[in-house]
Amino acid sequence: MAIVSRNKRNINFAMSGMTDIVFLLLIFFMLTTTLIVPASKHVDLPESNNQTQASPVLVLSIANDKTVYVEDQAYTMSELEPVLRRMLEPHGDTPTIRLNADRSLVMEEVFAVLNIAKRNRYRVILGTKPES
């Protein structure tokens, strides 16, 4: 007398749940990568092997033609301090600014931005690109 099991096991695996998870992750990563702040308006950054881990609140860029961009909006140097005060007011006492300055730029504009940051107690991170 042979003992035979009445319940047969199904050894197939349904992949539909796994593909749903993969597509949801793909959509999530595509959306979050578009939220990363770009370096700026075509600024050729200097190279450095030191990278900081601080996260800036605001990105300020100075192009080669001495145009100042704050979050992709162009301003003159005389308009910069009130704009920075208005934009950084809700971020506490010592907000951090990332300063992207073109490598061929004369340092006069960089020093003007650093003086504004010193007067208003902002922290400044100089933007660089990794050495090749």
The pTM of this model reads 0.61
Identify whether the C-beta of residue 27 lies closer than 8 Å to the C-beta of residue 46: no
| pLDDT value of position 128 | 73
Q: What is the pLDDT of residues 61-114, one digit of tens each?
A: 888 888 888 887 888 888 889 999 898 888 888 888 888 888 888 888 888 888
| Percent over 70 (pLDDT), the chain | 83
- Mean pLDDT, the chain, whole residue set: 81
User: At 47, is the pLDDT very low, low, confident or very high (cuts 50, 70, 90)?
Assistant: low
| 108 part of a folded domain | yes
| 2 part of a folded domain | no
- Tally the C-alpha atoms within 13 A of residue 95's C-alpha that lie toward its C-beta: 19
| 5 part of a folded domain | no
| 81 part of a folded domain | yes
DSSP 90: G
- Parent domain of 101: 47-130
Identify whether the C-beta of residue 97 lies closer than 8 Å to the C-beta of residue 124: yes
State how many domains the chain has: 1
d(CA 65, CA 12): 64
* Terminal-residue alpha carbon distance, the chain: 76
Q: Which two tokens stand for residue 128?
A: 């660089």
| pLDDT value of position 22 | 92
| 104 part of a folded domain | yes
| 112 part of a folded domain | yes
User: Which CATH number belongs to the domain containing residue 88 in this structure?
Assistant: 3.30.420.270
User: At 45, is the pLDDT very low, low, confident or very high (cuts 50, 70, 90)?
Assistant: low
DSSP 131: -
| 51 part of a folded domain | yes
| 69 part of a folded domain | yes
